[in-house]
Structure 1
């Protein structure tokens, strides 16, 4: 067997199932032809389980041609087809021809490579072929051990996985019994199929091979709580503030992963989302007509645009199926308000609350099938539960709810840190020795001012901290907010860039960040005993003795991934 044939077998039969992208450098048309001729020598495979992608980086002579990528792709594809009578996608799922300049920096090439690699790995994940490192190493070692048989057939991953695990003679009976417990076609696809496939492959559903990995905190690790006020387009302020916290931390950990509990009132935080949510109607330019329409339709804006935008982000997933929150082990709650008199607070959660008794709100235990996009914005009827509206009318700051939920889950324990992020607070107006004005101080305007004051999250923060028995004990409770003399309307999307700019220029806010960053960093550390202590009694007194005799107390650092 020639070296060319050996290389062809090595690439097409040994590496083929494991490689995401084959990457080649080409310095001119002659190199491109050589690569195509070499790939044409690869033994053909009939319906391989996995086909990698191809990337060719074009250098030197290629860059002298206009439309270098298109020219190279045509030459490469035509050469492959002429030599094998097969199209290029017979060997690769997709291909990319990328001009690579002669600049000293490799950053653009690396960025393009990682971008395409993410696409390929997502395709692997969707195909159920994204194996763990442990499985990949074991299967590759077995493939290498059987390299001598590659000439006759490519590596069979399933046979390799079951090399030491013979198939049970009762497999068919077990499958029939298992399938008899599957109640619906949906469960067959989402649950039974991956279980059966994993059983055929590895005899069981191995830990760490799941796409969904849930982080479970050690019992000795503490908890941090994040609370975010509501505020329409002013909801752009909390992400900007958290971005500043992230910069201050300077760690390769997303700031949201520092918090185990997160609660927030709905806000039009994203520019694109806000522009969809607050799109004026066709009657907006007619004086008075828009208000009449708002009264008759129960809203200033149509829910159609916002529902389309929310569905595009969350899809049809239930609120308890938000994968990212599950993966990082975070508990999330979104408060809502009932519309009947008297209006009361309710809480949608992605977890099962253990709350007992009454704390001024109701956890909706039957809400696990509610779609994520349904818990946002205008009053909405949810089948089996009722009609709900934005909680901002009762509590625009979910701090008290968050602390109550933490107490219900953790008893008398105290959170390591509580961070309340506001959406802008107006300074208190000074008292003036003057009589009211019939026009500017009419009962309608006074009612509006009183209502808008209820939307100030600062008020709830002051109420909670003033009655907190832990106040003054440096218990790690912080509020980050902007003081805005003339706050924009909650639907003024044009003000969003200015609000972000204010966050970056607020000296008081920025000055508070170092202490919060240090405190967040400290929450990564926790103590862990190597053995359970035992209580002993002696005449000298009482003490806790380690059964392993002076086993050390281990200090561990949280996951930095």
Structure 2
């Protein structure tokens, strides 16, 4: 590991449209020197001057002091004498006579991270250095110590202070949390001291300047240095004492106001304020809002509080008790202690043709075997009409594919055998126009109630396992807008812009399951109808993807989408131009009839939805459509129960087993996901990332099935480079039975998009959520959320000591290798020369 002696905190370098701020993560380096940064509360002293400033800094900042190699930079150092105390001192320093803009092409540093940040400079006569100090650096200072003799005397010092006061502070904290100013002058007589004080009071504390000055600074005082004939220790003893007094007073006020930040929080706030200042430095910086990043308040908090208060009033709970409970909840939320995408199955509607997706699912289950149900490779399942019956049977009732298929066939035959169909398609069309749908809703209700019984959408499943989210598509009768029957609650209503809503009832467990599947139903004073009435919703994929974005906001793009059709006319043949016009065959009535029929074909909706996504998302690897054309001859109608056996056999003949296996492989590999174990560390010009590959399904069954489908060794790759790690059952823990494979690799920068994949059948199959940046993993896992997470740091899975020891062992091996050689071991790594 390269040793770093650089102390530069902030620099201005050449850039397009104005200087860039160059930041070398110096604040974070200083914080790392502290032994318990989450429990230490540092205070920052800013020295401004030249020679006298350097002498004082050398005397008061007890560190391995050496002058900075960048004289135009703002520097930052830790006081070694206080670094282990509860209130460590941090010293910043700058020479106001050095305001140069450094060249953009400096030699890159390999000992520390560095970033040049473009700044949206306001149109003003103020110099960039003054803007950065007033709007950024001073927000985190407790004391500003200006050595007047270094910058031209007291008059020049006052002019500099008024420049910063005119620029103004961007802090949202109260005015008494502003930094204190200590002006240090050389050895002067008592008379000169009195005159200096008078000049200071006259120029700063007079009416027109006082309000301006004290909106940016808490106080201003003058300190006189003794004669330089004294030893350095003796000469700066008084200044050290005065600084300690000012720091103590500043600390007392901060603690009283509740803004005494820990070292961890101070660093996080500074890095956020730096980005804020670069975007728009004229907008005030809100410390409260910054502390909520990664733990944002939900938009429904006001409605929740109102509901809670009303319930308390209704139950005659004392006001003090309600207020105390709310205050406690807010406190817990405000101070919390401190990955993969969804897999979707979408099923089209189509009456008895629902046997088509069920037969496809059966073929998939045949490949998976009995140990790995299709449902275990799914997170969200949605359907319309008959697809809704399948979705609720599997997702809500948690039935297997076999049981769901048997139940569907029984329901269809039981209902449609009672229904007298017209043998003529025109008869069926006119019958539909003069009745409530193509079949008797009363008979259907009896059949569905007999199957689902009194089960409600939000009731606890008989298995006591809550894991699969299911949604059946319906719509309102008055406007036809989509409505979802779901087996889960939503934090907030989707809102008018979403274009759909949820069924709301007064019942705690929601509506009955069978109500979601009726052609028309009245619930809580609102009327709903079969979602397939709107042709665009007969394929429910678009609504399902909208739900994915709401349910998994951090991973809005699903890992895998499997869309199952119910036969399609669009797959039969390409359209041809008719040689003649036949009014009977091509007249308006038949054209309209064919148009209505084709509008319900889910294949067209599939193409439209798929094209909404970028090419890398809608690749054949993870966006899959399984469907068949109609069988030859007359097409089976949606109420022809006798055609189900024929359709099942037709699906078996037409669906390519290669497509089934391809879908299975994608679902299996999407079970593997990557987690960072800690924030990446910067060494030798690269970020060293350490994490582990996990599996969210039964790892042994998944690996064995993948091995049976591909007998060769399956290796993990990063961006096409073999990591030297294979997919093996050996990485399944003997204690917890879960998969854990430690992985290590390099990236040039955290926003570099990477891909982790498995080599399978000669091609690389991406793991869950890849390609992705390392920074997105940091954000998603909250590794840099210094102010805590909404889950209060509660682990999302039971921790296994054996797995943790395995991961820590790999990490220690890595650290020892870097410390001893400066170069990481090659095992599990992508070497630097591969990173291009």
Name the counterpart of 1:271: 409
Structure 2 matches for 1:4-153, cutoff 5 A? Answer: none
**Alpha-carbon separation, structure 2, partners of 1:526 and 1:501:** 37
- Change in CA separation of 1:302 and 1:557 when aligned onto 2, cut-off 3 Å: closer
Name the counterpart of 1:350: 487
Q: Secondary structure at the match of 1:252?
A: coil
Contact 1:378 1:389 in 2 (8 A): yes
Name the counterpart of 1:415: 558
Q: Structure 1 residue 244 and structure 2 residue 391: aligned?
A: no
Q: Structure 1 residue 449 and structure 2 residue 605: aligned?
A: no
Q: Secondary structure at the match of 2:385?
A: coil
Q: Secondary structure at the match of 1:340?
A: coil
Give the CA deviation at 1:364: 1.1
Give the CA deviation at 1:482: 0.7
Contact 2:342 2:552 in 1 (8 A): no
RCO comparison, higher one (Cα < 8 Å, 6+): 1
Contact 1:276 1:305 in 2 (8 A): no
Contact 1:232 1:491 in 2 (8 A): yes
Q: Secondary structure at the match of 1:432?
A: coil
Structure 2 matches for 1:103-502, cutoff 5 A? Answer: 220-250=339-369, 252-267=371-386, 270-280=408-418, 294-321=432-459, 323=461, 327=465, 329-341=467-479, 343-353=480-490, 354=492, 356-358=494-496, 361-364=499-502, 366-367=504-505, 369-394=510-535, 395-411=537-553, 413=555, 414-426=557-569, 427-428=572-573, 430-469=575-614, 470-471=616-617, 473=619, 476-484=622-630, 485=632, 486-502=634-650
Deviates more, 1:470-479 or 1:409-418: 470-479
Name the counterpart of 2:692: 553
**Alpha-carbon separation, structure 1, partners of 2:518 and 2:439:** 10
Alignment length, in residue pairs?
Answer: 335
Give the CA deviation at 1:422: 0.6
Q: Secondary structure at the match of 2:673?
A: strand
Contact 1:397 1:457 in 2 (8 A): yes
Give the CA deviation at 1:295: 4.2
Q: Secondary structure at the match of 1:482?
A: coil
- Change in CA separation of 1:360 and 1:527 when aligned onto 2, cut-off 3 Å: closer
User: Where does structure 2 lack aligned partners over 5 or more consecutive residues?
Assistant: 1-311, 315-338, 390-404, 702-836
Name the counterpart of 1:511: 658
Contact 2:484 2:503 in 1 (8 A): no
Deviates more, 1:450-459 or 1:356-365: 356-365
Q: Secondary structure at the match of 1:225?
A: strand
Contact 1:380 1:387 in 2 (8 A): yes
Q: Secondary structure at the match of 1:327?
A: coil
- Change in CA separation of 1:447 and 1:285 when aligned onto 2, cut-off 3 Å: closer
**Alpha-carbon separation, structure 1, partners of 2:665 and 2:382:** 22
- Change in CA separation of 1:380 and 1:420 when aligned onto 2, cut-off 3 Å: same
- Change in CA separation of 1:356 and 1:535 when aligned onto 2, cut-off 3 Å: farther
Q: Secondary structure at the match of 1:418?
A: strand
- Change in CA separation of 1:387 and 1:446 when aligned onto 2, cut-off 3 Å: same
- Change in CA separation of 1:403 and 1:554 when aligned onto 2, cut-off 3 Å: closer
- Change in CA separation of 1:439 and 1:248 when aligned onto 2, cut-off 3 Å: same
**Alpha-carbon separation, structure 2, partners of 1:361 and 1:419:** 23
Across the aligned residues of Structure 1 and Structure 2, the Cα RMSD in angstroms comes to 3.5
User: Where does structure 1 lack aligned partners over 5 or more consecutive residues?
Assistant: 1-180, 184-219, 547-551
**Alpha-carbon separation, structure 1, partners of 2:421 and 2:644:** 24
Give the CA deviation at 1:238: 0.7
Q: Which has the larger radius of gyration?
A: 2
Give the CA deviation at 1:503: 1.4
Name the counterpart of 2:4: none
Give the CA deviation at 1:280: 4.9
- Change in CA separation of 1:351 and 1:282 when aligned onto 2, cut-off 3 Å: closer
Give the CA deviation at 1:481: 0.5
- Change in CA separation of 1:355 and 1:525 when aligned onto 2, cut-off 3 Å: farther
Residues 104-163 of structure 1 deviation map (CA, whole Å, 9 limit, x = unaligned): xxxxxxxxxxxxxxxxxxxxxxxxxxxxxxxxxxxxxxxxxxxxxxxxxxxxxxxxxxxx
